[in-house]
């Protein structure tokens, strides 16, 4: 028998074994799942799960949400083919491309690549609208990071800024003020407890710029904002005042009592929360002063004392 014939025979045997194993694997998988109509076997084909007997499509549009993999020269460093998901926090939704970097390039080639990268970055921003978006979205990402806000608040704030641009609300107003206003508005819509003073302290805009931008947003876009529950402030304020869990639970009870009796109507929610925490701290002899509690909430001691007095009078 010739060597070539022997090789072909071995390849044929190997192929037959692989085919047999593949068929047995499919049979085993099909045995685990049966058709809900006729109890026939199922198999996957073109993203659909189909019955072998009656042809019923049991499921379709099966999508693998995991990363795709590639086989390129940088497999050892970056084996994924796809990039980051779409995001509202980028002016181009995260779809732009970037020119990579390499430490293996030297001299003239490295400088040429740097020039290409610089020109490419400039070409990504072609209009004044895009420049404003890049600057404002960068500020929004910085603010949400500094305030420890979730990604959904960041994306909603960027979406609000985009809507403000479409309505031409930015004319004559500060970009920094609108970025801060969008973050605060997103917090209000989502019921996330952040005060205007907290946002202003973290922002590059003044309180007046932020207030004017927020008023324009609320007036022109009709934001579905409502009063924030004072209880949302309790955990953060208690942590800043280093109060125990028992004091925090007692403060929540005072918030419920204040809400039931209408003491929180027309009052600053953060001030109500601070008054409830101060009252609970007094009950536990935690040693918190009115000034400390009011500073955490960004209200005056007079505001805190007014709510505290009403809480005590109702006991």
Q: Model pTM?
A: 0.60
Adjacent-strand bridge partners of 42: 51
Q: Is 242 exposed, middle or buried (0-12, 13-18, 19+ CB in 10 A)?
A: exposed
Question: Would you say 38 and 53 are in contact if contact means Cβ atoms under 8 Å apart?
Answer: yes
Q: What is the mean pLDDT of the chain?
A: 78
User: How confident is the model over 267-289, as pLDDT tens digits?
Assistant: 888 899 999 999 999 988 888 89
Confidence band of 34 (pLDDT split at 50, 70, 90) = confident
Q: How far is 37 from 55, CA to CA, in rounded Å?
A: 10
Q: What pLDDT is attached to residue 228? A: 82
What dihedral do alpha carbons 256, 258, 260, 263 form, nearest 10°?
-160
User: How confident is the model over 213-247, as pLDDT tens digits?
Assistant: 999 988 888 888 777 888 888 998 998 888 888 99
Q: Which residues are annotated as a binding site?
A: 35, 38, 51, 54
Question: Would you say 292 and 241 are in contact if contact means Cβ atoms under 8 Å apart?
Answer: yes
Q: How far is 194 from 208, CA to CA, in rounded Å?
A: 17
Domains of the chain, CATH where assigned: 128-221 (1.10.472.10), 230-313 (1.10.472.10)
Output the furthest CA–CA distance in the chain (Å, rounded): 107
User: Percentage of the chain with pLDDT > 70?
Assistant: 75
**In the predicted structure, residue 63 carries a pLDDT above the cut 70:** no
Confidence band of 29 (pLDDT split at 50, 70, 90) = very low
Confidence band of 265 (pLDDT split at 50, 70, 90) = confident
Q: Is 271 exposed, middle or buried (0-12, 13-18, 19+ CB in 10 A)?
A: buried
Q: What pLDDT is attached to residue 31? A: 41
Q: Which residues are annotated as a binding site for Zn(2+)?
A: 35, 38, 51, 54
**In the predicted structure, residue 18 carries a pLDDT above the cut 50:** no
- Token pair, residue 191, equals 């019921």
Q: How far is 185 from 179, CA to CA, in rounded Å?
A: 10
More confident residue, 213 or 58: 213
């Amino acid at each position: 028998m010739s060597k070539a014939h022997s090789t072909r025979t071995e390849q044929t045997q190997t192929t037959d074994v692989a085919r047999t194993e593949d068929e047995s694997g499919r049979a085993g998988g099909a045995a685990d799942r049966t058709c809900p109509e006729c109890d026939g076997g199922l198999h996957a084909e073109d993203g659909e799960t189909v019955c072998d007997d009656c042809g019923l499509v049991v499921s379709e549009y099966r999508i693998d949400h995991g990363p795709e993999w590639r086989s390129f020269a940088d497999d050892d460093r970056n084996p994924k083919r796809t990039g980051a998901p779409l995001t509202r926090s980028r002016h181009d939704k995260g779809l732009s491309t970037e020119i990579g970097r390499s430490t293996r390039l030297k001299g003239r080639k490295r400088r040429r690549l740097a020039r290409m990268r610089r020109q490419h970055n400039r070409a990504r921003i072609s209009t004044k609208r895009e420049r404003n978006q890049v600057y404002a979205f960068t500020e929004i990402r910085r603010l949400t990071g500094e305030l420890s806000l979730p990604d959904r608040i960041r994306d909603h704030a960027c979406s609000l800024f985009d809507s403000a641009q479409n309505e031409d609300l930015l004319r004559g107003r500060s970009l920094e003020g609108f970025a801060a206003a969008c973050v605060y508005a997103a917090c209000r819509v989502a019921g996330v407890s952040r005060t205007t003073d907290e946002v202003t302290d973290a922002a590059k805009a003044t309180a007046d710029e932020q207030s004017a931008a927020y008023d324009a947003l609320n007036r022109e876009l009709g934001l579905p904002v409502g009063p924030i529950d004072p209880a949302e402030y309790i955990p953060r304020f208690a942590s800043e005042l280093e109060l125990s869990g028992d004091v925090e639970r007692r403060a929540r009870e005072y918030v419920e009592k204040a809400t039931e009796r209408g003491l929180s109507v027309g009052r600053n929610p953060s001030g109500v929360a601070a008054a409830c925490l101060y009252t609970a701290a007094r009950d536990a002899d935690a040693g918190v002063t009115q000034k400390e509690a009011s500073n955490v909430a960004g209200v005056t001691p007079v505001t805190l004392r007014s709510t505290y007095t009403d809480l005590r009078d109702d006991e």
